[in-house]
Homo-oligomer: A and B are copies of this chain.
Amino acid sequence: MSKEALKIVTIGGGSSYTPELIEGYIKRKDQLPIKEIVLVDIEAGKEKLEIVGEMAKRMVKAAGLDWKVELTLDRKAALQGADFVTTQFRVGLLDARVKDERIPLSHGVLGQETNGAGGMFKAFRTIPVILDIIKDMKEICPDAWLVNFTNPAGMVTEAAIKHGGWKKTVGLCNVPIGHCSTASEKLGIPEEELFFKFAGINHFHWHRVWDKTGKERTAELIDLIYGPNQSEEDSHLKNIHNAPFHYEQIKDLGLLPCGYHRYYYIEDEMLNHSIEEFEKGETRAQVVKETEARLFELYKDPQLDHKPDELSQRGGTHYSDAACEIIASIQNDKRTDMVVSTENNGTITDLPYDSIVEVSGAVTAHGVEPYNWGAFPPAARGIIQNMKAMEETVIRAAIDGDYGAALQAFTINPLVPGGTIAKTLLDEMLYAHKDYLPQFAEKIKEIEKNQPETVNYVDELMKSN
């Protein structure tokens, strides 16, 4: 890098997160010699792109910067000369997420947009698109970095690197950021005086913490956060229910879990809570949809020229800030310690060499240099190996449009409680998302033709929303 005049392109630029991204760039204006920011979206997102794009222009102007902010629906044109491409698009918008959550929950199964039934379908919809973007990048901007924060970030990043062959991809998540804050608060030690080491896969990682005297504080943090005297207000994650882990189990593990481990370690609690939400019409997707609507109302205000506080309720907060830090760190070879999705290459010896993992590393000008992690204790090892195999199967299904592979993925996914409900969900969700799954077109046609009960069930459910 070390370029004089940066061009940063954001695909899914019409997202409600964009102001956070812009704020992140502004905060780092001394590190980022930006010349041009291009926000790209598709026809269906045009209105939102315009609202949030104008807001972005106001923010840049208010900061006294001469950066050019462009809005476009022409992806190929946008990629011309790009130095960084960030991806935050959502195929099918929030309506797709509503389906991802409501269909499983209507059967008493977790939707879970990260690695559950919902997450698998988000992968089915997203992976063909990311591979398509990479096809364009190969042709148009072959030296650009791809900073992905479209979920499921782990699988999307694995598809981009392993299948798309785009080595210069970094996947991002905001979850580790919250865990660092929590540890810092609990110990009463500034974050920069702690050494954090995360390892796992996206939305499924653990971490250890040391202080600057060299003492490991992991066990102490387990006590403070998950022990008998834990307070109820611990989670920094707005988007998942804050049910308490079982202390004895976490203590036995000896590693700090991530918030999403609740879906696996206390699946029953999380399911009950999600069903409650579903019954009240308040699934996370539905809540987020309303938050978003409110945010866009705010963004329309021609006086607003800074990120509104309300955005932090959105759930993915810090996401965009992390993206900006990665860009700044690559641009300036800052070697910032961050937690990112990157090639394993033996960092975690329990997972395949060519897997994408989410680990701590230094972000340099030539990419991420992960700190070696090694092996997990058995209790963490098996469960993550299963998740990774599930991810690989999802990616295979997403690329090949293979129904058997998709059913396989649903069957081995630990959040799907059995092969028969797996098949029911899979069929219903294929039908529900038919507009965004060209690779499964033939199977979907078959379902439409031969399974009227599937079609009716989904149609009725979606009406009832």
Is the Cβ of B382 less than 8 Å from the Cβ of A195? no
Within A138-189, the residues touching B (CB, 8 Å) are: none
CA distance A419 to B414 in the complex (A): 13
Most buried by B among A367, A372, A381: A372
Is the Cβ of B353 less than 8 Å from the Cβ of A378? no
Within A397-437, the residues touching B (CB, 8 Å) are: 402-405, 407-409, 411-412, 414, 417-423
What are the residues of chain B within 8 A of A442 when measuring CB–CB? Answer: none
Is the Cβ of A370 less than 8 Å from the Cβ of B367? no
Interface string of A342-375 (1 = CB under 8 A from B): 0001111100010000000110111101111111
This chain: copies in complex: 4
**Beta-carbon nearest neighbor of A402 in chain B:** B252
Interface 9-mer from A85-93, A213-221, A295-303: A213-221
Is the Cβ of B267 less than 8 Å from the Cβ of A417? yes
CA distance A48 to B437 in the complex (A): 63
Return A413 CB to nearest CB of chain B, in Å: 10
Is the Cβ of A267 less than 8 Å from the Cβ of B210? no
Is the Cβ of B253 less than 8 Å from the Cβ of A408? yes
Is the Cβ of A345 less than 8 Å from the Cβ of B374? yes
**Beta-carbon nearest neighbor of A395 in chain B:** B378
Contact (A249, B345) CB under 8 Å given A214-B1, A370-B372: no
A333 at interface, CB cutoff 8 A: yes
**Beta-carbon nearest neighbor of A269 in chain B:** B420
A459 at interface, CB cutoff 8 A: no
Within A247-293, the residues touching B (CB, 8 Å) are: 248-249, 251-253, 265-271
Is the Cβ of B383 less than 8 Å from the Cβ of A389? yes
Contact (A389, B378) CB under 8 Å given A365-B210, A372-B372: yes
Is the Cβ of A405 less than 8 Å from the Cβ of B375? no
CA distance A365 to B195 in the complex (A): 9
A207 at interface, CB cutoff 8 A: no
CA distance A268 to B425 in the complex (A): 13
Option from B361, B365, B367, B382 in Cβ contact (under 8 Å) with A386 = B382
What are the residues of chain B within 8 A of A372 when measuring CB–CB? Answer: 345-347, 369-373
Return A298 CB to nearest CB of chain B, in Å: 38
Chain A residues within 8 Å of chain B by Cβ, number: 80
Contact (A268, B418) CB under 8 Å given A197-B369, A330-B214: yes
A36 at interface, CB cutoff 8 A: no
Is the Cβ of B362 less than 8 Å from the Cβ of A371? yes
Is the Cβ of B2 less than 8 Å from the Cβ of A419? no
**Beta-carbon nearest neighbor of A387 in chain B:** B382
A212 at interface, CB cutoff 8 A: yes
Is the Cβ of A265 less than 8 Å from the Cβ of B375? no
What are the residues of chain B within 8 A of A249 when measuring CB–CB? Answer: 404, 407-408, 411, 419
Is the Cβ of A374 less than 8 Å from the Cβ of B386? no
Return A260 CB to nearest CB of chain B, in Å: 14
Option from B210, B370, B420 in Cβ contact (under 8 Å) with A371 = B370
CA distance A137 to B349 in the complex (A): 32
4 closest A-B pairs (Cβ-Cβ)? A382-B389, A268-B418, A252-B404, A214-B365
Beyond A214-B366, A246-B411, A253-B408, list 7 extra A-B contacts (CB 8 Å): A2-B213, A195-B335, A195-B369, A252-B404, A345-B349, A361-B371, A362-B362
Residues of A within 8 A of B (CB): 1-2, 193, 195, 197, 210-216, 245-246, 248-249, 251-253, 265-271, 330, 332-333, 335, 345-349, 353, 361-362, 364-367, 369-375, 378-379, 381-383, 385-390, 392-393, 396, 402-405, 407-409, 411-412, 414, 417-423
9 contacts between A and B (CB under 8 A): A210-B364, A212-B333, A213-B333, A246-B407, A246-B422, A253-B408, A267-B418, A371-B372, A378-B392
